[in-house]
Structure formats: C-alpha cells, structure tokens
A and B are shown apart, each in its own frame.
Chain A
Amino acid sequence: MWEQTKRAFLESLERVFRALARLVPGLAAMLLVLAASVVLAAVVRLVVRRVCERLELDRRLRTWGVAAPPAEGRASPSVLVARFATWTVLALGFLVGLGVFDATAASALSMRLLEYVPHALVGLVILAVGIAGSRAVERGVLIGAVNMGLQSAHLLGLGARWLVVVLAGAMALEQLGVGGTILAVAFGLLFGGIVLALALAVGLGARDVVARSLEKRFPAKKEEGEARNDLHHL
C-alpha cells in the first residue's frame, strides 16, 4: 500500500519535473529575448534621441507651431518620441518572448497581437501627425482670420484644429478596425457639425470682409466716407 502510494507520488512528481524541464528552455529563451529587447530598447532610445537632436526636431516643431515652447515639467517632443520608440521595442520584445516561450495559448495570443501591431503603429502615426498638424493649421487660420478682422478668429482657429483632429482620429480608428459603420456615421455627423459651426462663425463675423471683397471685385461706385482705407503701404 505504502509502496503503491509512494510510486504514484514519485511518478506524478516526475511528470511535474518533466513538464517543468520542458518549460525551462522556453523560459530561458523568453528571458533572453526580454533581456535582448531591453538592451535594444536602450540602444533605440539613444539613437532616436541623437537623430532628433541632429534634426533639431524640437525647434522645427516649435517653428511649425506643432509643439508648445519648452516649459518646466513638460517633456519635449524628442523625449516623447524616444519614449514611444523605447516602449514599442519593449512591447514587441515581450510579444516575441511569449512566442518563443512556446506555450500554445500564449503563442497564439502573441501571434495575433503581432499581426495587429503594424495597424496599431500606422494608426498611432496618423493620429500623431494629425494632432501635430492641427496645431499648425490652427495657428495659420487664427493669424489669417485676425488679419481679415474677424472677431471670431479664435473660434475659427479652434474649429479648424478640431476638424483636423477629428479627421485624423477617424482615420486612425479605421486603421485599427474599430467602429465600422458607426464610426463613419459618427464622423460624418461630427465633421458636418464643425463645418456648420465654422460657417456660422464666418457668416456672422465676416460680413464686413465679404462686403469689402465684393466691393474690390465689383468697384461700381465709390461712396463718400467708405469704411475702408485706400493706403498703398509700400
């Protein structure tokens, strides 16, 4: 009886150890991949920082109105780009590690996630470019509207910015495969709403500008005391 129990226990223990022994190479390989990805992430971070410095990314983005001026406690664009690259490499390393581990479920999950990575990256890039571009668009529209004498210049700039952000967001979500038809409908409604709001803002704020523009185009008669200046500035 004791012998039978002992044998059964030892056999199950042996099975456990065999199973563990089968896992060890996969575990070691996964740890190796993770360690390699950490090193690679550090290298990528260094390279990205150097490239950003060489390209004067922070200054250029400030010039284009994409990034705000440097302030205490606020990370610069090049730091953000380096962080993004680092975490992307670490995440990819983790997924590859899971695949190497050779656990069936984990491997299938990692494979699906890896297939999704390019879409996620493209979506992120679209969103980042959209957000960055929206600030440049906002500044351009704001300055143009002020120079046209529109009282609602700030609103116009903000509207133009959100138009770009919404467009970029919709494109990014489509890339991620999120939303489907609902997304297209929601985007259409939101986009149309913003355009309508901008049209109203322009219509209400730019009556004088439109009148001046028409007057320039059709200079039929000149009335005394017109509300425009006749100056040649140069």
Chain B
Amino acid sequence: MQRNNLILVGMAVLVAVMLFFAARQSRSGQTAGGAPASGPLGLAGQTAPDFTLQSLDDKTVHLSDYKGKVVLVNFWATWCAPCKIEIPWFVDLQKQYGPQGLQIIGIAMDDASPKDIAKFAQDMGVNYPVLLGKESVGDAYGGVQFLPVTVYIGRDGKVINKFFGLKGRAEIEDIIKKALNQGAAAGL
C-alpha cells in the first residue's frame, strides 16, 4: 500500500513537471528577444503562407514570385528602434548573399503614410523590396504583436524559422548561410 501511495505521488509530480515545461514551451514562441522560436502556430517546416502586397513603388508583389530563393521576410515599422538597427545589416546581407539566391523582403506594419515609409527606407539605403503590410499577412505568419519579427523561408518555400525581437547580425548571417547551403545541397 505504501508503494502504491508513492507511485501516486510520483505520478502527480510528473504531471506537474510536464505541465510546467509545456507551458514554458508554448510561451517561448512569444517572448521578445527570447530564444529562437518557430512561432505560435508552429510554422517551422510548413509551407510559408503566400501573400499579395503592394510595394512602395506600387507594384503587386507575391511571395511566390521568389520561388527557389531563400527569402527573409522582415516585419518592421518606422517607429521601431530595434528594426532600425537590423535594416543596415539586411542591406549588407542582401548585397553579399543576393547573388547566391537570398531575397530579403521588408513588410512595413506601419500607420505612417507610404510617403513617410519610402523616405525612411530611402534614408536607410534599403536595397530590397519594401511592401505595405496588412494585419492579415501578419496573422498568417502566426501574428505580429511586436516588432521586429523575421521569418526565414527556404528555397523549397518552407518556413525554416521565425524570430521575435532583435537578433545579432552574426546569428542572422549564420541562418542565411545555412539556408543557402541547404538549398544548394538539395539541388534546389
């Protein structure tokens, strides 16, 4: 009987520990500046949701236009100070890895006018398409409650990872290099 009691207590503790870790796991996808996360909807490994948005130069852009490339989708806004830190890195990375098949896309989740967004992008020397964001696109990517949010998409069109908050340049570059190499190794 004593043994049975011990088993019962042990099971209860196990359930509680499992609940604790499950809770932490689900939260990790929503923490600003936290560990890399695949997003609340578990996007990693899934086909990236296609979108249709207008660019600053009034062109209609679909994600599917960049099929076969490694795509870095960066959700940002003119009022987001950490986003302003990343943008010059993205400019450099686009220059450096563009010829190898990287395409960076900025999606402005901004209330500012397209004119102000364009001025900001011009001041920052942005050399990749900047699209005017819609909440529905953010929702399709698991929600954009805060910025920046960066989604990495492989050459196969599947989401590699989704990051919340500012990451270091080296970390970003590392993911890009791996994604480019993965695609090359798979012969895509």
Q: Do A and B bind each other?
A: no
Q: Interface residues, chain A, CB within 8 Å of chain B? A: none
Q: Interface residues, chain B, CB within 8 Å of chain A? A: none
